Chain A
Amino acid sequence: MDTSSNRIVFILILCIAVGVGGILLQRNLTAKSPRALPVAALVPTPSGKPVVLSGQLHIGYATETLSNPFWTTVSNAANEVAKTKNVTVTVLGSEDIAGEVKNAEDLIQQKVDVLVLTPWDAQGIIPVVEKANAAGIPVLTVDQNAAGGKVETYIATDNVLGGKLAGYWLAEALGGSGKIAVLEGKAGATTNNDRLSGFHEVLKMYPKIQVVVSLTANWKRDQGLTVMSDILTAHPDLNGVMALNDEMALGAMEAIKSANKTNQILLVGYNGADEAIRQVNTGNIAADVVQYPEIMGRLMVEWAIRIKNGEKPPARLNPGVNVIDTTTLKKAFTAISKGK
């Protein structure tokens, strides 16, 4: 028994050694590091004179969870633009603020040229922003802002406007009166606050619309499902639901389907996620506030390059926002299929 278990352990170590050797060998054959070769990249600047960047620009993007398609869209768009401009983007997803802080610290450790953040929490991210400031790394924020430290620019949809658009749409669709429920995102998030404030500001003009309950589902689909089921049980005569992001809307949609109330309740989502738009097409979701995550990704990379070339960005960059519902979506599809 001694010798056989001894032998097994020895074989395991041998496998590890061979594996490591193989990886190292492969590594040497395809040697590539972010700063191996100086590369001339011509980037147009406002003055018209092209600037040569020696070496690749390395952008570090510490974002929220990559299981939310919104962030994968932003990251993929950023990567696509980065490829054409000879820039590398390292994307690190996280499940909470503590994980994100660790990711951002590791990016700073790698001496990225620009740090881009989508903070889970505006307060918790401040120490990391300050660390980046101290290290001389410019910081950009996407969609969620940081409440302190020096941020070069904040790239986000005008979420107050988005909330207003949603409020107008829902109030008009309900004919100016009815009972609605709100599914909120993570408490304290900038986008949450902005969307809510816009939404409520518009609703003030419709006194016959009553918000019977406003609960948080933390931006998550499974929580959207459970919270919605509970709300439906407590308020069987609900007319409308405003879910502040698409993940929650998709969860709420399932709850409404199970309760057979799809015809009774108007569900509004927020984000413009692929899946949500499909559901708007089928009518399961009544309307969706569309953001442009691809534009966010593109702006992130373009402005990172421009900031590194010394340009000063505006404090806030706005990719645009819109609202679509089933009728406008069908019109758009017909127009597209007709080749317009």
Chain B
Amino acid sequence: MFHARCTLRRSALDFVTLCPNGYLFTNYRGFSSIRSVFADGHVAKTGGRVTGILNRFYRTFRTLITVFALLIFWIIFAARSPYFLTADNLLNILFQSANLAVIATGLTFVIIAGQIDLSVGSIEALVGSAAAVFMVTHHQSPLIAIVGGLIIGISCGAVNGLLHAVFRIPTFISTLGMMSIARGLALILTAGYAVYGLPESFRFIGQGHISGVPFPVFIAAVYMVLGHIVLTRTSFGRHVMAVGGDEKAAAYAGIRIGRIKQLTMMISGFSAGIAGILMTARLNSGQGTIGETDLLDGIAAVVIGGTVLRGGAGSMWRTFLGVLTVGSLRNGLNLLGVSAFWQQVAVGVIIIFAVLVDTLQRRDPE
């Protein structure tokens, strides 16, 4: 049933993998599907989504709708506020969305694999607080503090994954528990206070510039590009898509689903950790309360971009679109003086609308 390796064979479709046991795994433009190729040559669908011309059209159409919606928001905001479409403000949007972009990158991997990570906001706070405490109470250098913090982030993600892999607890539940645990630990570490007195060099991470581009934007951009490369050009990325598309078929195709899911949870924890470091540097203090809106905004960004929550399809480009949309929405509504309460309503409405558009277009013949 399990085969260690499948031969890779490129054809007109990208990334076609023909496995010795006859299972054909294709990944075309963000879609994965697994069909069984029988001895007499006929092909049957065993799972995943249909990769066909129609679906390709729908996916492009979906992306167009997202871009269109984003443009509409920009037009509305630009019309109502003379400050919105300035280069300064656009950079401001990117700057404010930097930690959201990092979290959304990690969440993309998790959601494509068919899982969810509810603990990203709490891990962000925990890693930020831990790094601050390392630097202030234990007088470590920023580098060691960052490394230590990121190790904590990866560990939280690993725990999330292990609870799922070993004890079969759904990631919804395990990350729900971790959300509470990490938040509690962050508040314990900081005792509710702000941990301040961070070394000057650390501030650069949140407030420095590289030839005009704020450093967090730089980090977020690099991280997203890396994420995109891993997702589209490595076998790991393809396996993540397969696991999300159809777990059983992926298992038959020789993919170690437990390991893939574990790794995606660790990536998410790592991303939340980086976001925590960025936020701590921006506030120049360790705060145990950060990240509470980042969970909703992160999932919103991934979903608005067009990655379906069920998994099996998605791309970093979509997430980037989603991050831009959420960031522009919040910034634009702020510039218009709309209260934070209405902003929350707006984000929720947009999420529902985005998923609605997805549901209307779904083509699932099975």
Chain A interface residues toward B at CB < 8 A? 2, 5, 8-9, 12-13, 16-17, 20, 23-24, 27, 33, 66-67, 90-99, 101-103, 105-107, 109-111, 121-124, 126-127, 147, 186-188, 216, 218
Contact = CB atoms under 8 A, between A and B. Distances in A.
Interface of B: 54, 61, 65, 68-69, 72, 75-76, 79-83, 88-89, 92, 95-96, 191-194, 196, 203, 206-207, 279, 282-285, 287, 289-293, 330-331, 334-335, 337, 339-341, 357, 360-361
9 contacts: A13-B65, A66-B339, A98-B287, A98-B289, A106-B335, A109-B83, A123-B283, A188-B192, A188-B193
B136 to A, nearest CB: 11
Contacts of B61: 9
Contacts of A94: 340
A112 to B, nearest CB: 10
B196 A109 contact: no
Given A109-B92, A188-B193, 17 more contacts: A2-B54, A12-B357, A16-B69, A24-B75, A94-B340, A96-B292, A98-B291, A103-B340, A106-B92, A121-B287, A124-B194, A124-B283, A124-B285, A127-B282, A147-B196, A186-B192, A188-B192
Nearest to A147: B196
Contacts of A9: 61, 65, 357, 360-361
A66 B341 contact: yes
Nearest to B193: A188
Which of A13, A17, A95, A123 lies at the interface centre, i.e. has the most chain B CB atoms within 10 A of its CB?
A123
Contact of A5 (B72, B335, B361): B361
The DSSP consensus for interface residues of chain B is helix
A92 B340 CA distance: 7
A9 B357 CA distance: 7
Contacts of A218: 192
A227 B191 CA distance: 17
Given A20-B72, A186-B192, A99 B340 contact: yes
Contacts of A147: 196
A33 B336 CA distance: 11
Contact of B96 (A96, A102, A121): A102
B357 A98 contact: no
Contact of A96 (B82, B290, B334, B337): B290
B283 A101 contact: yes
Contact of A124 (B284, B334, B360): B284
B194 A123 contact: yes
Contacts of B88: 109
Which of A27, A107, A127, A216 lies at the interface centre, i.e. has the most chain B CB atoms within 10 A of its CB?
A127
Given A9-B360, A101-B283, A109-B335, A16 B192 contact: no
B94 to A, nearest CB: 12
B363 to A, nearest CB: 8
Contacts of A2: 54
A107 B335 CA distance: 7
Which of B75, B192, B289, B335 lies at the interface centre, i.e. has the most chain A CB atoms within 10 A of its CB?
B289
Which of B79, B292, B334, B337 lies at the interface centre, i.e. has the most chain A CB atoms within 10 A of its CB?
B334
